[in-house]
Structure 1
Amino acid sequence: MATDRSSRQAVGTIQTDGFPPVLAAADAMVKAGNVTLVYYGLAERAEFIVAVRGVVSAVEQAMAAGVLAVEATKRGALVSHYIIPNPPGNVDSVLPIHYTSASSDFWV
């Protein structure tokens, strides 16, 4: 179930074609903004996805850095990216975008 804390924060996702760009995006996002990486996984067709959480302004800053990092990567490409400010509790509880025990040490 979603915590009150996570429901007040934005979530940002970047989907890439290939592993190197998603790794570059994840690295750039956590370095550029005060965000927590909450999800990483495979999407369909050998694409990868990474999601971060934090306050809206930090997620916007992190996403901008992540997109630039993907575009600077020589192999792979940006498939999509999206920010959801203040996702409602039902979205947070159903999708894999919530804080977990694995990310709890890095909560922002």
Structure 2
Amino acid sequence: MTKQAIGILETKGLTCLVNGTDAMLKSANVTLAGPMRQIGSAMCNIVIQGDVAAVKAAIDAGAAAASQTGTVLSAHVIARPDAAIEDILPKVAKAAGRAKK
């Protein structure tokens, strides 16, 4: 795994997750590990990657912002995760190329 940490923000409701994700991406040098995922019963989550300090700062900022507009169910940082974790993280779909005419 090329990144040093992953962070997971889980909320009840999409609006507060979008608000939290916006705050995370603006507050620190982190990247999304994949698209937002809807779990069910209004629960949804997002996974970010980056340096340990950046992920911690981003998760703190994201949880604070999300809690202003909804319910934060979980906000967690995993520092230096095992390489096997990469297999279960959401993947960003590659854009399909257009066919040449």
TM interval, shorter chain, is: 0.7 to 0.9
Aligned to 1:78: 72
Larger CA Rg, structure 1 vs 2: 2
Percent identity, please: 31
5, 10, 13: which one pairs with 2:8?
Answer: 13
Range with bigger deviation, 87-96 or 58-67: 87-96
User: Alignment RMSD, CA only?
Assistant: 1.6
Amino acid at match of 2:41: R
Whole-Å separation in 2 of the counterparts to 1:41 and 1:90: 20
Whole-Å separation in 2 of the counterparts to 1:95 and 1:33: 20
Aligned to 2:98: none
Superposition misfits of 4+ residues, deviation over 2 angstroms: none
Report the TM-score when normalising by structure 1: 0.78
Report the TM-score when normalising by structure 2: 0.83
Amino acid at match of 1:5: T
1:62 aligns with 2:95: no
Q: Could you tell me which runs of 5 or more consecutive residues in structure 1 were left unpaired when the two chains were aligned.
A: 103-108
Q: Could you tell me which runs of 5 or more consecutive residues in structure 2 were left unpaired when the two chains were aligned.
A: 95-101
Aligned length: 93
Tell me which protein shows more helix as a share of its residues. Answer: 1
